[in-house]
Amino acid sequence: MAERDATTDGILDEVLDEILAKADLRLVLMCLVHLTGDLAWLEPPFRPTRDVRLVPDPRAGLPDEVQDRIRTAVRRLLQDGVPDAAIVDPGDELMQRMMSVCLGEEVPAEYAPMMRGELGLVATDPAPSTPLDADHEPHVLVVGAGISGIAMGAALGRVGVGYTIVEQREEVGGTWWDNRYPGCGVDTPNHAYSYSHSYGSGEPFAWSRYFSKRDEIEQYLQRCADEFEVRPNVRFGTEVCGASWDEAAQQWHVSVRDDRGEHTLVADVLVSAIGLLHVPRMPQVPGMESFEGLIVHPSRWPDDLDLRGKRVAVVGTGATAMQLVPTIADEVAALTVYQRSPQWARDIGGYRDTIPTADQWLFEHLPFYARWFRFAMFWRYGDGLLVTLRKDPDWPYPERSMNRRNERHRVEMAEFIERELAGRPDLLEQCLPDYPPYGKRILIDNGWFRTLTRPHVELVTDAIDHLDAGAVVTADGTRREADVVVFATGFHVMEMAARLGLRGRDGIDLADVWADENASAHLGITVPGFPNLFCMGGPNTGLGHGGSGMFVAECQTRYIVDAVEQMRRRGLRSLEVRREVHDEYVARVDAEHEQLIWTHPGMTNWYRNRAGRIVAIMPWRLVDYWQMTREVRLDDFV
């Protein structure tokens, strides 16, 4: 925090000048529009130049004299006392104009209403309703107190709907409570990976980095659970054992187990908020039972695990391994990485950086600065990439890229890998993928490639045959000793809500409906035959092209809360999505995915099932899904 004058409680002039010299003038201009109402700040000579970097040049490409005029204006506001905003919500037309000026590029009008909500400039909750049936107030049971469960509980509380959250862990946080491995962190900028409601009420969380580690994310989620008044409604240490729909009562009977044993809860609406990345996928490698060292999955990392001086084997080269391996390399005696397929990774400037003190001060003292900082991060990690992932039927090199822009990305990332592995042609051959970039999950380089060049680190591409008492043995018979084997092999993602043991109308089991890894749901949220059941993090709702899981959770929250409000307002006891509506939506999802990279035949990924159908991620732009889930269409339901 910047130094303050003890007498006047005003920041010292020289310190303020230093802060404003480092402020992002794109964001400062937006603040001036909000605070003064003067739209001249959006006109020449105050028009920033386009800069697509995550952390752009704060001078915004403006001449020195123009920079000085902007800083003088905001300095005067800060020193004289920041006035109430002349414009809080700019409306769609002005919002589009502001976004376009801020970025130095034309932003389509369809993004304006979405971003007004994302920046907390306008309320996004449905209007609370008066129940038509005064004798029946619906009660909602939410399973899971992670990102989605907190969002759902907060929104239900804001509209006055009663709810209970059951959580099998002892604290909120979901996957951020589970994952404690070294280097664990987010790969989306924090100011996009946060709740929009944080920006419309109270003080934004003071993130220390652009990409924070899990301890800070867990702290943020715990703070949100408290500030949104969700925690009092959470029953911790409570596991769902199964649930069934009672057609006569139009309610769900949910069997739970806690420290008192097994008993039944009754709810009018059931929401699964358990997420995708929860159940670890452990491969069945022969000899695991005879291995005398420690075998661990990153999501079950022991708090007391000391790797100093140990010989460590890491199986897998996905997002978790890319965070873990560079983090532990300095402390282990030997590190062997077992790779099934190489990964494309982006070099992101600012990935390891802390957020400057100047920005932190402005977040707290300059109204709207944090909101527009969120916008910049959200936009640069949003929809812009999706167009590069579409198949071009006339592109002559489909085996290596999707289209001309995707090819440019491939060349850029290949050149980066070549620079990182300079002088190691053996590693380059092993590490350069032969499939189109972004065909698997987007990864961010964390010093991964340079770590592989270290003398005590070995990359192995031969398949693992078995484990013996003290080593990993590959198919060629090579035996590599290990004290710890880390299976960074991902999660079981295809079951989703089906693993809760849900039985809908006529006793049909969701696990049977979603058999053969073929889950589907209308908007990823509702399933025919399962009245009053809503899924968060359901089929085809993950993000493969960028964006934030928080954003998807809030889209689904708005949709579900609107459904509950419609039930209250109209006296409805149940809603069940129509089969034809579900089938039509799923057909559109599949058809869209056929045009995108994740169905490319030259690779595998965890997004698609054994039959090749994409189940885990959506094919839509963020703005498309936001529009689809903005409100419930009652005609879609029985």
pLDDT in tens, 590-628: 999 999 999 998 788 999 999 999 999 999 999 999 999
**Cβ–Cβ under 8 Å, residues 3 and 53:** no
pLDDT of residue 14: 87
* C-alpha closest to that of 637 among 578, 586, 591: 578
Mean pLDDT throughout 431-452?
Answer: 94
Structural domains present in the chain: 13-123+358-383 (no CATH), 139-278+492-631 (3.50.50.60), 288-350+394-487 (3.50.50.60)
- Residue 336 CB contacts under 8 Å (≥ 6 apart), including other chains: 311, 312, 313, 314, 457, 458, 460, 472, 480, 482
Element (H, E) at 503: strand 502-503
What's the Cα-to-Cα distance from 612 to each of 440, 498, 512, 595, rounded to whole Å? 14, 20, 19, 14
**Do the bridges between strand 251-258 and strand 239-246 make them parallel or antiparallel, or are there none, so unpaired?**
antiparallel
Per-residue pLDDT of 503-512, as tens digits, reads: 999 999 999 9
Per-residue pLDDT of 376-388, as tens digits, reads: 999 999 998 999 9
Amino acid at 522: H
What's the Cα-to-Cα distance from 81 to each of 11, 18, 367, rounded to whole Å? 12, 19, 12
Per-residue pLDDT of 234-293, as tens digits, reads: 999 999 999 999 999 999 999 999 999 999 999 999 999 998 888 999 999 999 999 999
pLDDT of residue 238: 98
**Cβ–Cβ under 8 Å, residues 149 and 165:** yes
Report residue 403's pLDDT band, with 50, 70 and 90 as the boundaries: very high
Query: Is pLDDT at 501 greater than 70 in this prediction?
Result: yes
**Cβ–Cβ under 8 Å, residues 312 and 486:** yes
Q: How many angstroms separate the most distant Cα atoms in the chain?
A: 76
pLDDT of residue 11: 65
Query: Is pLDDT at 7 greater than 70 in this prediction?
Result: no
Query: Is pLDDT at 576 greater than 60 in this prediction?
Result: yes
What's the Cα-to-Cα distance from 522 to each of 386, 559, 608, rounded to whole Å? 22, 12, 18
pLDDT of residue 162: 96
Report residue 1's pLDDT band, with 50, 70 and 90 as the boundaries: very low
Query: Is pLDDT at 10 greater than 90 in this prediction?
Result: no
Token pair for 232? 């009092």
DSSP-based three-state secondary structure for 526: strand
* Mean pLDDT, the chain, whole residue set: 94
DSSP-based three-state secondary structure for 29: helix
pLDDT of residue 202: 59
pLDDT of residue 5: 37
pLDDT of residue 595: 97
Euclidean distance between CA atoms 112 and 236, whole angstroms = 39
Query: Is pLDDT at 9 greater than 90 in this prediction?
Result: no
Per-residue pLDDT of 527-558, as tens digits, reads: 999 999 999 999 999 999 989 999 999 999 99
Predicted TM-score of the model (pTM): 0.95
pLDDT of residue 442: 82
Token pair for 7? 């007498």
Per-residue pLDDT of 322-348, as tens digits, reads: 999 999 999 999 999 999 999 999 999
Token pair for 450? 């340079």
Query: Is pLDDT at 398 greater than 70 in this prediction?
Result: yes
> What percent of the chain stands above pLDDT 90?
89
Q: How far apart are the first and last CA of the chain?
A: 56
Query: Is pLDDT at 3 greater than 60 in this prediction?
Result: no
What's the half-sphere exposure (Cβ side, CA atoms, 13 Å) at 523?
Answer: 29
What's the Cα-to-Cα distance from 482 to each of 237, 293, 341, 462, 502, rounded to whole Å? 36, 7, 22, 16, 42
pLDDT of residue 102: 98
Mean pLDDT throughout 286-308?
Answer: 97
